[in-house]
Amino acid sequence: MSVNLINLFDYEPLAQARLSPMAFDYYASGAWDEVTLKDNRAAFNRYKLRPRMLVDVSHRDLSTTILGQKLAMPILIAPMAFQCLAHPEGEVATACAARELGTIMVLSTLATKSLETVAAVDSLRWFQLYVHRDRFLTKSLVERAYKAGFQALCLTVDAPVLGRREKDRRNQFVLPPGMELANLASMTDLEIPYHQGESGLFSYFLEQLNPALTWKDLEWLQSISPLPLVIKGILRGDDALRAVECGAKAIIVSNHGGRQLDGAIASIDALSDVVAAVGDKAEILLDGGIRRGTDILKALALGAKAVLLGRPVLWGLAVDGQLGVQKVLELLTDELDLVMALSGCATLKDVDPSMVRSGELLI
């Protein structure tokens, strides 16, 4: 591209120019007044870095291991629905970018490319699961993911019903003709319905997803698949500990990008409580508001082993397909590399809680 894109923020306005207003609003919006959406970004500024000096950082290594999988950097691609709204290749292009950069893509249940099609890319991959009212359908999705070589099952627990996203409601959000729920198309006739004056996705969740999901269902999920269970959407230490006691191998501290409960705590503000409760009993990851390398270092210092990147991936996808996603990941990785050098950290093992302080404690 001729435009000189130098950070993740540069991608959003270009993506907006390429997307339909309905698609952009779906990707960008949060619930109600978008208080939590905005706070996910603002919260990072409340933490200040404490760099070490006179450390040999001439050689740096950003690699890590998550659930036994070697990653080139501590950045995963978060599960995001309907990626064909951004680019015709959708989730396939994103998976190709993940493969090239050596990281994990988490594929949404509500993808517009099937899990088998994405698996053919042969990237590192997890499958994100929404539990439907139809248990047979849910069981079939899990079995298909295991058969297709997905390496973990990522259960989203913060969406018993869908948060009220008013821009989607105003737009009466629905998938355009020719686009489908690819993971469900071969098993059911489910689709995002059109409802006058309502978001079709809100109606879909209300009709199809199971709001009665409880901790006891984690045992059932593990009984139908040997995949390690990752729980996404935890904001409390006691919930995180309960998840681990129920068999979770990893926890994603997340408020769903500010798209569920408006007024919920920012993900980075919830991280320390979760880390203190879980200790080394599970791996802790974080998503929500990641835009800079400094954000990642702060999350790592507070106890996350890696972060997941959401909306900027979609902006990169809209701007330049697979290459756009790759560039977004490369820009963020380069920033993290620079931040580590300036903070006196040659490897991720050098990042510890002493590297960061809450701004309120610095007088």
Task: Specify the DSSP element, H or E, that contains 124.
Answer: strand 124-129
130 Rama sector, left if φ>0, alpha if ψ -120 to 50, beta otherwise: beta
Give the Cα separation of 282 and 241 in Å (integer).
9
Q: Residue 83 is encoded by which pair of tokens? A: 């990626």
Residues in a beta bridge with 106: 126
Q: What φ, ψ does residue 54 adopt, rounded to 5°?
A: 55, 50
Q: Residue 343 is encoded by which pair of tokens? A: 């903070």
Give the Cα separation of 250 and 184 in Å (integer).
26
Give the Cα separation of 162 and 177 in Å (integer).
23
Name the catalytic one among 59, 132, 195, 256. Answer: 256
- Neighbouring CB atoms inside 10 A of 337's CB total 16
Catalytic residue status for 195:
no
DSSP assignment of 153-181: EEEE-S-SS----HHHHHHT--PPTT---
Give the Cα separation of 222 and 217 in Å (integer).
9
Helical H segments across the chain, by residue range: 11-18, 21-28, 35-42, 90-101, 115-119, 135-147, 166-171, 182-185, 200-208, 216-223, 237-245, 267-278, 293-301, 311-343
Local structure of residue 195 (DSSP, 8 states) = B
Q: Work out the burial of residue 248: count CB atoms within 10 Å of its CB; fewer than 13 is exposed, 13-18 middle, 19 or more buried.
A: buried
Catalytic residues: 256
